[in-house]
Amino acid sequence: MTTEKKEPETPVLSLQRIYLKDVSFENPNAPEVFTEGNGQPRVEMNLALNSRPLNDEQWEVALKVNVVTRDETSEQVMFEIEVEQAGIFFIKNIPEEHMTQVLAVNCPSIVFPYTRQIMSQLTVDGGFMPFLMEPVNFQALLDQSLQETSEAEGQTIQ
């Protein structure tokens, strides 16, 4: 009588496809924005992350970035960009307790460079200097979100 040891299954995370879900570039004050106003640009940026299961082993992770840039002096909008970049990820044998980390840190870290490149190219095509997004620390964002959730739950219990 032999008993076979079952080897633990190897965790797998792989990008299957990267794609652009939505893109918008607006230059509402052209051509005046190029000939008037000498102020420095002031940037407002919002970032959102969404993930959803497609089936038992595939997830869509989407990174949505909205940027509005205004002339610091006149407050005139120079440009506005909205990009939603997504990836389909094959995820298998990842313990449930690690899924938040994978979906909120690992996957968006893979999608981010594609989003950054599109945003840069859009600004160049719109007649501006390349808009280079600073790297995003998705781990810090997750930690902050978990901390805020923990504090909110703690306050509710009191």
**Can you give the residue ranges of every domain in the chain?**
12-129
pLDDT of res. 158: 37
Residue whose token pair is 């307790």:
97
The token pair that represents 116 in the structure block = 């950054």
Q: How far apart are CA 154 and CA 138, in angstroms?
A: 24
Return the amino acid letter for 72.
E
pLDDT of residue 157: 42
- Assign domain 12-129 to its CATH architecture: Roll (3.10)
pLDDT at 118: 97
Q: What is the pLDDT along the chain (158 residues), one digit of tens a residue?
A: 555 666 678 999 999 999 999 999 999 999 988 887 667 889 999 999 999 999 999 999 999 999 999 988 888 899 999 999 999 999 999 999 999 999 999 999 999 999 999 999 999 999 999 999 999 999 999 999 888 887 777 754 43
DSSP 2-57: --PPPPPPPPEEEEEEEEEEEEEEE-TTTTHHHHS--PPEEEEEEEEEEEEESSSS
Please compute, for residue 56, the number of CA atoms within 13 A of its CA located in the half-sphere on the CB side.
Answer: 1
State pTM to two decimals.
0.84
| Structure token digits, residue 93 | 């044998």
| Dihedral (Cα; 110, 115, 121, 126), 10-degree rounding | -170
DSSP 8-state symbol, 38: -
**pLDDT reported for residue 38:** 67
Amino acid symbol at 48: A
| CA distances in angstroms from 66 to 84, 92, 94, listed in the order given | 9, 32, 31
Instruction: Answer positive or negative: Cα dihedral of 142, 148, 149, 154.
Output: positive
